[in-house]
Structure 1
């Protein structure tokens, strides 16, 4: 019989979710602001993208360390430190002077924020597993899905709204300036920093574990080079040995040594043995495919709306807002449905909706009605909502609670790497098709109308190919669902 803790679990979860909102916003909200940052700092696109690239790299490298920190450091202390680090990172980027020489300060703030998010997000899952019993865990994971899924989805729209014109927020004036995009996350984090020392509790049992420095170095270098290689694909191309192929090879080599060392250690830095449990590994693979299918369209669709349809960043974000709201609404519901029907049925329905919502995207044209794009996106996000948290809960429930930190770190590491890969893959596919099909400048001079038409068709072909890849992820995920054990939360 499960014993409920003496502290208020709802308050602990509330504090973590408040901070997670800001952390999730910082992960995806910057993309819409890149043109504004380029102009403000007088930098080119490749330089501006460093703000995203280094955030991704730092966040990915921190994930394996989260398991060790969760075991070694008290829960309350770890949360307070992470919230303060994230707030500091936000403020550093926010108050960076506007000139090219100061851009490294902006990036440094992003790196600090990424380190904090790399601690916070895995720890959120670990705390939920330790705080809630089998009967209640699905609903708690659903609430986490509301933040993890919805906040990144609305981030680009929120940024576009802020940059569109001056606004008023909580009595403050948000000017249409890049610094304003950090105001709301900073306010949310300030609230979390004040509440955490009062409401947070030491939920995760601490252990006397030592830090294996060699494992830390191997994982940091391995994941760093691996992700760095894939993030360079968009600018350097798949054939570039120095910037793409070599870093990936080096990363894989270090990661193989890392895995080998973990299997030899009595107390591993990251217990990769969790993947020997099929009821953990199979839902995790399905989860990765759902994430890749989601990011494949979520990343490319706003670019299609802006580049092909000529929409502003704000209006392209608003077009997708209903999908974000739909996902936010269904994520907690998915937790309840998981308790009632189990993960297998929800995964079938979820991947089925992903397939139905993605298939028409490979036939998009420059004249496709916006309402169709919006409805299809909402269907896709409903499918994502019905798969992410149930699959995560099923994977975590397959292992003993004492393995929660290792399982969470392994789960999040694969998710981080997979989303990095799909971003690089989609970008490179679209760019390569556009480059190969764009006519020469001679046609532009002799027949500008024909040139513009061919460029538009090249862009459409690129986006359709990317959407087809996302469709493939959904199909493979649906097939993997057949191998998932039809488990439900214990009653």
Structure 2
């Protein structure tokens, strides 16, 4: 059994971390691995891209809607039991996906997958935090950050390889043996549960928070498809979602045991971490939407090639993340996050000068710099939020941070897609230039000068959109200034009572 009061990471913590990372890798990979399968699904199930896109949207919405329940369920049933149940649900959903006979059944099975996958990350954070204690949380959070980095890069690569070498069924079937292994290891490695006496379940909170979050994210995630914020498909669900979430906030502030504990915001460290995470995730994940599209639409690369070209970002993050985790435990997250956000801002600045023929070495360099910054930002911010919470508050705190991360990432992606769409529409030639990369007939019929000009305008649209991401990243420096800049206190003093 691990001793959280010691400063060194021991074998027990590494075993727990290994199991948690395995579960997180499966959950996060499944968000991105399906992206390269969309053309295959369209062909196999004879469906449109709008309908097939629900294989991703349904998974994401299910994942987001179940997150609010995780904190209460972890307290009520214990983290080990709930984690194993989430893994079983995820593996069951994966197996069912491989048996899909039409697009509707695949979407339904993806929802089941998302319900299990949504609990894995907040539960994993809670389990690792309890195992490591506040003195070592920075280093274990760095370990948990690895799948967050690898998912967007390895997902398209793995998905493309499995479809080409085997069939689309294997992007789901591969989770079955991995999931069974994860369940067995979790049963053996995780410490036994000691669930508390049951708090009253906030049923009204669940009816407000989960549908509210899902509807809001559905509206926001519909923006790229509709091409405008003014569409009824965007405004109606987003407005209903905001109303439900507002009602939940009013309800939660007056309830003794709310589904999401908003009283945690009384903790200044968590409060500034939430603001930092909101701006960071909006900028970083919004920018993450842009480059794969630039590489495919302007440069004519395949999804697999675009995934490979994104690798420098992951390499940069893997270099700094372990060092950042060690330093966070020694000097606090504040200085590390400032360094990280500064590097992300510098990397984003490199993309504001994108052209239709920008050197891949320049792109790789900017990605590498962003990766160096990302390794010093995301998990240290998570650490800042969680390291001052009491043992009993950790599950609620990690749940809250995962909701913030998921919501901000969706808002960032939608924001960048709207700005980009507006920029692309300024010049009609862009449509012809982009179409020439995907349709040989267009390339043959249209003069090369028109295609070249269209691709130049398209690249300009991407570079202008990057200015929005750059501004958001620069703004992130302001709340980052208020994050803790000292080593976390000893375990007996680590908890800051939010009700004091």
> Normalising by the residue count of structure 1, what TM-score does the alignment of the two structures yield?
0.91
Q: CA deviation at 1:239?
A: 4.3
Tell me how far apart the structure 1 counterparts of residues 11 and 474 of structure 2 sit (CA, whole Å). Answer: 44
Matched, 1:486 2:485: yes
1:409 matched residue in structure 2: 399
Per the alignment, residue 460 of structure 1 pairs with: 459
Q: Deviations over 1:94-130 (max 9, x none)?
A: 2223xxxx11111112111111111111111111222
* 1:242 pairs with 2:241: no
Deviation at 1:322, TM superposition (A): 2.6
The aligned residue for residue 470 of structure 1 is 469
Instruction: Select 2:317's aligned residue among 307, 320, 327.
Output: 327
Are 2:142 and 1:105 equivalent residues in the alignment? Answer: no
> Match for residue 290 of structure 2?
300
Deviation at 1:34, TM superposition (A): 1.5
- Cα separation, 2, equivalents of 1:328 and 1:369: 24
Tell me the SS of whatever aligns to 1:264.
Answer: coil
1:95 counterpart SS class: coil
Cα shift readout 1:368-407 (whole Å, capped 9, x = no counterpart): 1112111211110110110111111111113222211221
Matched, 1:139 2:143: no
Query: Structure 1 residues 150 and 447, CA, compared in 2 at 3 Å: closer, same or farther?
Result: closer
Distance 2:451 2:384 in 1: 50
Contact 2:28 2:151 in 1 (8 A): yes
- Partner Cα separation in structure 1 for residue 414 and residue 170 of structure 2: 29
Distance 1:91 1:268 in 2: 35
Query: Hey, what's the Cα distance between the residues in 1 that align with 2:297 and 2:419?
Result: 16
- 1:38-77 maps to which residues of 2 (within 5 A)? 38-77=42-81
Report the alpha carbon displacement of residue 418 of structure 1 after superposing the two structures with TM.
0.6
Distance change in 2, residues 1:39/1:462 (3 Å): farther
Determine whether 1:213 maps to 2:203.
yes
Within a 5 Å distance, the mapping from 1:240-279 to structure 2 comes to 240-279=230-269
Provide the C-alpha distance between the structure 2 equivalents of 1:158 and 1:446, rounded to a whole number of angstroms: 36
- Which whole-Å deviations, capped at 9, do the CAs of 1:26-78 have from their partners, x for residues lacking one? 12221122222222222111111111111111111111111111111122221
Higher mean alpha-carbon deviation, 253-262 vs 400-409, is at 400-409
2:88 to 76, 84, 91: 84
Unpaired runs of 5+ residues, structure 2, are 434-441, 491-500
1:352 CA displacement:
1.1
Per-residue Cα deviation, 1:290-334 (whole angstroms, up to 9, x for no partner): 222221222221111111111122221111113213323432322
Corresponding residue for residue 160 of structure 2 = 160
CA 1:211 to 1:6, structure 2 compared with 1: closer, same or farther past 3 Å?
Answer: farther
Partner-residue secondary structure (3-state), 2:330? helix
Give SS of 2:376's match.
Answer: helix
Deviation at 1:354, TM superposition (A): 0.4
For these two proteins, the number of residue pairs brought into alignment is 477
Deviation of the 1:413 alpha carbon: 0.8
User: In structure 1, what is the Cα distance between the partners aligned to 2:108 and 2:486?
Assistant: 44
Which residue of 12, 17, 28 corresponds with 1:13? 17
> Is contact 1:59-1:114 (8 Å) kept?
yes
Shift of residue 89, structure 1, vs aligned partner: 1.1
Question: What is aligned with 1:366?
Answer: 356
Which residue is 1:169 aligned to? none
Three-state SS of the structure 1 residue aligned to 2:253 is: helix
> Does structure 2 conserve the Cα–Cα contact (< 8 Å) formed by 1:138 and 1:335?
yes
Q: Matched residues in 2 for 1:336 and 1:44: separation?
A: 48
Do the aligned residues in 2 keep the contact of 1:141 with 1:393 (CA within 8 Å)? Answer: yes
Q: 1:433 aligns with which of 406, 419, 423?
A: 423
Which secondary structure does the structure 1 equivalent of 2:299 belong to? coil
Instruction: Indicate if the aligned counterparts of 1:237 and 1:244 stay in contact, CA closer than 8 A.
Output: no
Check the 8 A contact 1:70/1:206 in 2, yes or no.
Answer: no
Of 293-302 and 105-114, more deviation after overlay is shown by 293-302
Shift of 1:356: 1.2
Tell me by how many angstroms 1:186 deviates.
Answer: 2.9
**Of 27, 45, 49, the match for 2:31:** 27
Decide whether the 8 Å contact of 2:388 with 2:488 is kept in 1: no
Kept after mapping to 2: 8 A contact 1:296/1:466? no
TM-score in terms of structure 2 length: 0.89
Which of 166, 169, 172 matches 1:179? 169
Q: CA deviation at 1:235?
A: 1.9
CA distance in 1, matches of 2:292, 2:319: 22
